[in-house]
């Protein structure tokens, strides 16, 4: 594994940790797997036993409850030593199902697994309680190995705001909002081809899992309900996410670390849009984030910001490379925050000490920062919200379409950050009053950039940081702005080249 013991050495490494070796989930390199091995693996897979859910009584008319039939198929496949659980064309309504080791859940084109709209179909008796949120989910796995979800079908939680309202004041489903999927402590997991839609809460939530591959997955969660994250990876290791198209209400790809670190993560060739962030580390950050590479991606229509790297609950956020990214119609393009919220996620233990955020390289990135269209904003959660008609650009809108923000807290600096070959266009609109604004420290607050309000810079605001380098960073504004382009506050070793 490449190490970053010396900043002067690290800054010249062209691709950082993107060349790490995680095997074909065994001993072969991630890049450069020979074709013969792939053909042999495909041939072996074609010989697997196939168990059709219709053979176990699944109806598939969108009305009958097929939970038991699907679960019995999974159990039979697992008990026979593994194989393929086939979901043929049809609309199969289910409640919670539990995947098991050595099972491939394969959805034909035209096949849909539809989440029940009745909270009673999501029992939690056999499910562990997660560190964040409630236990309810549509698809669950725990301590399992060699699971694949593949095919050209759809898994649709039908978790709309109308079916699963967020409030807990009685009425339909009493505030229960199931995740679309939760996997705990699983290994060797593959997601390929399937389209995921409409969770009531988070989407695909993996906790303390290892050896994960997402390929050509489609996610359609936007403007469905509250908190509709795409991929939530909490304490996961050895992850490859590639060729995915992710549209979400909340964070598209969110790395979390409520206990253990996220480590050895590669994201490449993905398209993402979100009401909040395309790529986010945190806010859960106790375990940290180590050795992450993101390259050749397109982030668009992200009004609350595009890239957010946050360490606020202790832990190390270190050794991250982001390169070859195009961002269009986004809010704040880059937010880096080292804070001291110190969450213990409900466990009785001392709050952790302040973590670290260092050794970050961001290169070859283009961004067009825009103020969110108000009609789109009104659709962000659910429809029929009033459109703001305040003339001009409000402070709230300006703060969401703000500059680069890199900020630690007094005595705890963000360190060793390189921005290279950057071209960012900002909307402007800053006033003389904005240029004189004081920025609160908010040391222990939930980390969201616009919470800091309108910043006194239009291009970059950097505070409590050291060894920050801008090389060929081009920042422009499209409208008049009375703020400075860059504002530095308690910064050691800022270099522009």
Long-range Cβ contact pairs of 6-13 (< 8 A, separation 24 or more): 7/359, 7/415, 7/416, 7/467, 10/359, 10/361, 10/416, 11/361, 11/416, 11/418, 11/469, 13/361
1 found inside a domain: no
146 found inside a domain: no
296 found inside a domain: yes
Half-sphere CA count of 223, side-chain side, radius 13 A: 13
Instruction: Give the DSSP H/E element, type plus range, for residue 316.
Output: strand 316-330
pLDDT, residue 25, reads: 39
Domain that holds residue 462: 202-496
277 found inside a domain: yes
Q: How many domains does the chain have?
A: 1
What is the Cα–Cα distance from 189 to 284, expressed in whole angstroms?
A: 23
What is the Cα–Cα distance from 423 to 459, expressed in whole angstroms?
A: 11
Cβ–Cβ under 8 Å, residues 331 and 369: yes
pLDDT, residue 316, reads: 96
What is the Cα–Cα distance from 339 to 282, expressed in whole angstroms?
A: 11
In total, the chain counts a number of residues equal to 497
242 found inside a domain: yes
Q: How many CB atoms lie within 10 A of CB 166?
A: 14
pLDDT, residue 136, reads: 97
Phi/psi class of residue 20: alpha, beta or left (left: φ > 0; alpha: ψ in -120 to 50)?
beta
For 24-70, where are the E strands, in sequence order? 50-52, 61-65
Cβ–Cβ under 8 Å, residues 106 and 46: no
Q: Which of 359, 346, 291, 282 is nearest to 314 (CA)?
A: 282
- Per-residue pLDDT of the chain in tens (497 residues, 90 and over written 9): 333 333 333 332 332 333 333 333 333 445 455 777 767 766 777 778 999 999 999 999 999 999 999 999 999 999 999 999 999 999 999 999 999 999 999 999 999 999 999 999 999 999 999 999 999 999 999 999 999 999 999 999 999 989 999 887 766 787 899 999 999 999 999 999 999 999 999 999 999 999 999 999 999 999 999 999 999 999 999 999 999 999 999 999 999 999 999 999 999 999 999 999 999 999 999 999 999 999 999 999 999 999 999 999 999 999 999 999 999 999 999 999 999 998 888 776 788 899 999 999 999 999 999 999 988 888 876 555 677 778 889 999 999 999 999 999 999 999 999 999 999 999 999 999 999 999 999 999 999 999 999 999 999 999 999 999 999 999 999 999 999 999 999 999 999 99
pLDDT, residue 175, reads: 82
Q: How far apart are the first and last CA of the chain?
A: 30
* Per-residue tokens: 466: 């050291």
pLDDT, residue 385, reads: 63
63 found inside a domain: no
* Per-residue tokens: 203: 């989407």
478 found inside a domain: yes
Could you tell me the pTM of the whole model? 0.92
Return the CATH number at 452: 2.160.20.10
pLDDT, residue 32, reads: 53
Residue 231 burial (C-beta neighbours within 10 Å; 0-12, 13-18, 19+): buried
331 found inside a domain: yes
pLDDT, residue 46, reads: 72
């Amino acid at each position: 594994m490449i190490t970053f013991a010396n900043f002067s050495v690290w800054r010249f490494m062209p691709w950082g940790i993107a060349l790490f070796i995680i095997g074909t989930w065994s001993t072969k390199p991630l890049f450069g797997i020979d074709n013969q091995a792939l053909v042999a693996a495909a041939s072996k897979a074609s010989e697997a036993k196939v168990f059709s859910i219709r053979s176990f009584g699944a109806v598939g008319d969108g009305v009958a409850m097929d939970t038991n039939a699907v679960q019995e198929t999974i159990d039979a496949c697992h008990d026979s030593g593994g194989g393929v659980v086939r979901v043929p064309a049809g609309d199969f309504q289910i409640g919670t199902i539990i995947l098991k080791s050595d099972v491939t859940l394969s959805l034909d084109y035209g096949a849909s697994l539809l989440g029940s709209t009745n909270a009673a179909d999501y029992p939690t008796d056999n499910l562990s309680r997660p560190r964040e949120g409630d236990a309810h989910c549509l698809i669950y796995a725990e301590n399992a190995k060699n699971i694949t979800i593949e095919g050209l079908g759809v898994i649709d939680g039908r978790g709309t705001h109308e079916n699963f309202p967020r409030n807990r004041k009685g009425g339909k489903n009493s505030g229960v909002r199931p995740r679309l999927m939760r996997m705990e402590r699983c290994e060797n997991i593959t997601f390929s081809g399937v389209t995921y839609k409409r969770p009531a809460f988070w989407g695909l939530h993996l906790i303390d899992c290892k050896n994960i591959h997402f390929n050509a997955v489609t996610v359609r969660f936007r403007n469905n309900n509250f908190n509709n994250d795409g991929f939530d990876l909490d304490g996961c290791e050895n992850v490859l996410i590639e060729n995915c198209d992710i549209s979400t209400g909340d964070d598209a790809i969110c790395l979390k670390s409520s206990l253990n670190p996220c480590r050895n993560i590669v994201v490449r060739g993905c398209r993402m849009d979100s009401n909040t962030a395309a790529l986010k580390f945190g806010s859960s950050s106790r375990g940290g984030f180590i050795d992450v590479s993101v390259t050749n991606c397109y982030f668009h229509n992200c009004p609350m910001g595009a890239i957010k790297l946050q360490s606020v609950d202790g832990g190390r956020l270190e050794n991250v490379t982001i390169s070859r990214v195009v961002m269009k119609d986004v809010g704040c393009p880059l937010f880096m925050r080292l804070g001291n919220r110190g969450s213990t996620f409900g466990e009785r233990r001392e709050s952790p000490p302040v973590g670290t955020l260092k050794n970050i390289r961001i290169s070859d990135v283009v961004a067009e920062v825009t103020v969110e269209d108000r009609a789109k904003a009104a659709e962000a959660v659910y429809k029929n919200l009033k459109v703001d008609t305040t003339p001009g650009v409000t402070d709230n809108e300006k703060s969401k379409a703000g500059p680069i923000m890199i900020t630690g807290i007094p005595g705890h600096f963000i360190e060793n950050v390189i921005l290279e070959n950057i071209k960012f266009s900002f909307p402007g609109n800053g006033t003389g009053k904005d240029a004189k604004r004081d920025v609160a420290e908010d040391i222990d607050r939930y980390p969201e950039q616009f919470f800091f309000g309108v910043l006194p810079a239009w291009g970059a605001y950097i505070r409590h940081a050291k060894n920050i380098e801008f090389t060929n960073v081009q920042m422009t504004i499209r409208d008049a702005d009375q703020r400075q382009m860059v504002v530095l506050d308690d910064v050691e070793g800022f270099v522009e080249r």
